[in-house]
Every structure is written in structure tokens, then in C-alpha cells.
Amino acid sequence: MISFKHDKCFTVGLIAAGGTLAMMIPPSISMIIYSTLTDESLGKLFIAGIIPGVLNAIFLIVAIRIIIYFRPNYAPKISLPAISVSERLKLGLGGTGMIALFVLVMGGIYTGLFTPSQAGAVGSLGALVIFFFYVRHQWLQRLAKATFDSTTMAASLFIIIIAGIYFGRFLVKNLVIHRISEVVFGAGLSPMVLILFTCILYIVMGMFLPGTAIKVITLPFLYPILIEAGFDGTHLGIIMVKLAELGTTTPPFGMTLFAIAAAARDYVKLEDVYKGILLFLGVDFLLLIVIMLFPQLSLWLPGLMWG
């Protein structure tokens, strides 16, 4: 984008804001961790994330159009050579594998053909088939590397999840959650005050910690309190995912911002990333408010499936 004369602050801000979409659109590791720590239905969480995820993308597109309208120099028009219809079709077909895999996994869960756990196995098999279809050279080395990377990531996640489960049991056995609940409800705090406190806590913690660590630390005591206050567990999961996403992109210590600055250090400075993300933070906060005020955005599709 920078090579096409796009503004560097706008470019890195868009990458930071768009990169967090993966946390909301299923299948999402954040939702898997939330489901594991709270025993909420993973299938419901996956389906619940579809409408908020699509809304997130739409909000970003609208924000981009508005920004470019008022600051056309951020994304100047470029002249590209004409592309034939056959070339366009060839480029379009390049992404059909991933689209087919998404439809297979989510369609199977939605129609009840298999459970979310079984969907993981089906998705892995589908990804393997797509891999052999597209990769012609050095397939063994690439498959070995992909397997090693996936195993390493899964092992690290399991360690975090196991620690979170035992931390939650420790809090329950020592009546920590019970005492916190007594203090909270004894103070007469309304559900809205509780969720606002959660929002502030997650955004501040997200400046210093990854989303996975935040969930492991906070869900064992926050989840029971918020459920007792009347929140739906599935809707709460979508809010938590969005909050963790927001925290990682909030200056001055958002971890995603540091990662982008390090990856693009030859082109931008950290302050450029700060300036860029400020263009899009309002979109994320607006979407968070919309999700909180309209629970049916998260609960309508799961309600169609499970009643």
C-alpha cells in the first residue's frame, strides 16, 4: 500500500484495525478459549460471532470511505493495467479453497451434521486436501513445517487453558468468587455498571497482556458474577472477545500496535501506528456499544439453531 503512495499512518492503522477481525469471525481461538473456561457452547459462540463480525467489517469499510472522502491523499487513485476476464476469474478462484473450507466447517455446525469438536477434525482434513491441491513442490517440507507450527501453538494454548481451569477451581474452592459476589451485589451495583467496569478492565489489561492471558486471569471470577447479574453467556462471550480485541489495539501499550511497528519497522515508526489506529478506534468502540445495546445481534442466529 505504501508503494502505491497510500498514507503510511492510514495504512498501518487499517492493518491494525482489520487484523483483529479474526478474533470475532469464526472459527476463533478467542471463542474456543472462552468456551473452554466457561463451559459455554462453542457452536453457539461461533454462530453468534457471524453477525457482529460482518458488522465489524461493514463498519470498517464505511469508515475507510469516509476517511478517504475527507482525506483523498490518504489513498490516491492509481492506474493499473487492464485485466482480462479470464485473469480475473483465475485470481478469484485462488481464494475458493478457503471459502469452501469456511462453508464446510460453519455449514456443518449450523446444520447439525457435526459438533464443533468434530468440525475441527473435518476442517483439518479439508485444509489438508486444499494443501495437496494447491502445493506441487516441496510439499513434504511445507507440510512438516505447518504441522510443527500448529502443534507448537496448540501446546502453548493448552498450557494456558489448563492453568486457567486450575486457577478457576482454586477461586471456587477457596470461596473467593463467593466473597467477591457478596461484595459486588451487596454494594447494589447495576448490571450496566458491572459491564462498564469489565470494559474498562479489559481495555486497560489489553494494553499490557494478550487476549488469551486476560481471559484466563479474569473469566474465573468475572463470568459467574456477570451471569448472576443476568447476562447471557453467549452474548457475554461476544462482548469479551470484542473487548480483548479493543485492548490490543488501544494506545499507548496495545500489543498489536507494537507487533505491527516491529514488522514494518523499515517503513513506519511506532508513533505512525498510534496515529493510524486513532482513525479507526472510534469504529471499534461504536461497534462495542451496538453489540452491548442490541444482544439479539449475537443471539438471533444461535436462537434459530437451538431455539
The rounded distance, in Å, linking the Cα atoms of 45 and 29 is 11
pLDDT at position 185, please?
Answer: 63
CA dihedral of 261, 264, 268, 270, whole degrees rounded to 10: 10
Ranges in the chain, pLDDT < 70: 80-81, 90-95, 157, 160, 164, 168, 171-172, 175-178, 180-181, 184-186, 307
Q: Which three cell numbers stand for residue 291?
A: 453489540
- Residue 75, phi-psi category: left (phi > 0), alpha (psi -120 to 50), beta (remainder): beta
Distances (CA, A) of 254 to 82, 203, 288: 41, 9, 17
Number of other CB atoms surrounding residue 92 within 10 Å: 9
Nearest Cα residue to 242 out of 281, 279, 275: 281
* pLDDT score for 294: 92
- The greatest distance separating any two alpha carbons of the chain, rounded to the nearest whole angstrom, comes to 69
The set of residues, in sequence order, having a beta carbon less than 8 Å from that of 179 and lying 6+ positions away, is none
Question: Whose CA is closest to 228, among 185, 170, 268?
Answer: 185
DSSP character at residue 3? G
d(CA 291, CA 8): 31
What cell does 91 get? 485470481
The number of beta carbons lying within 10 Å of the beta carbon of residue 82 is 5
Query: Residue 175: inside a domain, yes or no?
Result: yes
- pLDDT number for residue 80: 66
Compute how many other C-beta atoms are within 10 angstroms of the C-beta atom of residue 230: 8
Query: Do 270 and 261 contact (CB within 8 A), yes or no?
Result: yes
Does 251 fall in a domain? yes
Total H helices, total E strands in the chain: 15, 0
How far apart CA 166 and CA 128 sit, in angstroms, is 34
- Cα 99 from chain centroid? 18
Report the candidate in 28, 15, 81, 21 with the shortest Cα–Cα distance to residue 287: 21
- DSSP secondary-structure letter at 73? G
Please check whether residue 85 lies inside any domain of the structure: no
Per-residue confidence (pLDDT) for residue 290, from 0 to 100: 93
- The answer to whether position 84 is within a domain reads no
In this predicted structure, what is the pLDDT of residue 25?
Answer: 80
- Residue 186 in domain: yes
Q: Count structural domains, the chain.
A: 1
Q: Does 140 fall in a domain? A: yes
User: How far lies 177's CA from each of 145, 224, 231, 232, 273, in Å?
Assistant: 43, 8, 17, 19, 39
How far apart CA 297 and CA 285 sit, in angstroms, is 16
pLDDT at 246: 82
Residue 83 lies in a domain: no
Q: Tell me the residue range of the domain where 94 lies.
A: 2-78+90-306
Q: Are 214 and 206 in contact (CB under 8 A)?
A: yes
Q: Are 239 and 24 in contact (CB under 8 A)?
A: no
Instruction: Look at residue 134 and tell me if it is in a domain.
Output: yes
Tens digits of per-residue pLDDT, 26-59?
777 888 888 888 888 888 888 899 899 899 999 9
Count of CB atoms within 10 A of residue 242's CB?
27
Q: For position 58, what pLDDT does the model report?
A: 92
